[in-house]
Amino acid sequence: MPWKLRSVFGVFNILRKKSLVKPMKWLIQYFYLIKLDKAILWCYLIWYVVVVCFHFDPSLKIWMNSIGISVVIGTGLMLSVSSNQGEKDFWQTVRLYLMPFCVSSFSALIKEQGFIVFISPNIKETIVSVSCCILFVAVIFGFKFCPNKLSKTRKVR
C-alpha cells in the first residue's frame, strides 16, 4: 500500500478510535431509543430553527423580550412540575425554559408575515421545514429498523 494511502487510513483510524466513536455511539443509541414524544419535540425545534433562519431579525428588543418571557414562564413551569423529592432532570429544565423562549421569539419573527398559524406563506420555506423534519424522522427510523451493534451496547436516557 502506498505511504499516502496508509497515512490517510491511519488518520481515519485515529479519528475513529479516539474522538468520534464515543459521541457517535451515544448519538446512535439516542436515536435508537428515542420515543415519539421526544421526536416530536425535536421536529418542533427543527421547524423553529428553519423559520429563524429565514426570518431572523437582529433587533435586541425581540430577543430580550423572549428571554424575559422565558425566565418568567419557565420558572412557573418549573414550579408546577417540581416535587420535593428527587433530583431535577437537566434536560427537562432546559426544555421548560427553551419552549417559552422559542414560542415568544417565533411569534415576534412571524408577526405580520402572512403565516397561517405556523405555516409560512412562502412555499419554499414550508418545503424546507417539512423536508428537514422528514429527514430527521427518516434517520430515527433508519436506526430503529436497521439496528446495529452500536445501538444495542447500552441504554441512554
Q: Which amino acid is at 116?
A: I
CB 63 within 8 A of CB 41: no
Distance, CA of 105 to CA of 121 (rounded, Å): 18
**Residue 22 backbone phi and psi in degrees, to 5:** -60, -50
CA distances from 44 to 86, 98, 114 (A): 29, 12, 20
Contact 98, 41 (CB under 8 A): no
Q: What is the pLDDT along the chain (157 residues), one digit of tens a residue?
A: 444 444 444 444 544 555 555 667 888 888 888 999 999 999 999 999 999 999 999 999 999 999 999 999 999 999 998 776 667 788 899 999 999 999 999 999 999 999 999 999 999 999 999 999 999 999 999 888 876 655 555 554 5
